[in-house]
Amino acid sequence: MTEKLNFKEKAEIAIQTGLQLVPYVGPSLSAAYFGTKQEKRFKRIESFYQEFSSLVEELKLQIPSIEQHDEEELITLIEELNEKVEREHTTEKKEFFKRYLLNTLMTPTDQNFDEKRFFLDILSNMTLLECELLTLLHHQDNYTTVRDIVKFGVDQYAIVGAIGRLKLYGLLSTTLGNFAVGGGDNSLNELVKPSTFGEKFINYCLE
Angle at 156 between CA 153 and CA 161, to 5 degrees: 115
Residue 39 located in a structural domain: yes
* End-of-domain residue from the set 100, 125, 150: 125
Q: Render pLDDT for 54-89 as a digit per residue (tens, 0 to 9).
A: 888 888 888 777 788 888 888 899 889 988 998 898
Same domain membership, residue 118 and residue 17: yes
Whether the predicted model's global pTM rises above the 0.75 cut: yes
User: Same domain, yes or no, for 71 and 145?
Assistant: no
DSSP 64: P
56 and 120 part of one domain: yes
Q: Is residue 153 part of a domain?
A: yes
Q: State the sign of the Cα–Cα–Cα–Cα dihedral 91, 42, 114, 105.
A: negative
Q: Is the pLDDT of residue 20 over 90?
A: no
Distance CA 124, CA 63 (A): 24
Examine the domain organization and report whether 80 and 151 are in the same domain.
no
Q: How many CB atoms lie within 10 A of CB 77?
A: 22
- The domain total for the chain is 2
C-alpha–C-alpha distance, residues 122 and 201, integer Å: 9
Q: Is the pLDDT of residue 24 over 50?
A: yes
Q: Are 119 and 133 in a shared domain? A: no
Identify whether residues 58 and 146 lie together within a single domain.
no
Given this model, what pLDDT does residue 1 score?
45
105 found inside a domain: yes
CB of 99 within 8 A of CB of 205?
yes
Domain of 166 in residue numbering reads as 128-206
Question: How far is residue 197 from each of residues 111, 171, 203, measured CA to CA in Å?
Answer: 16, 6, 10
Tell which of 125, 146, 164 closes a domain: 125
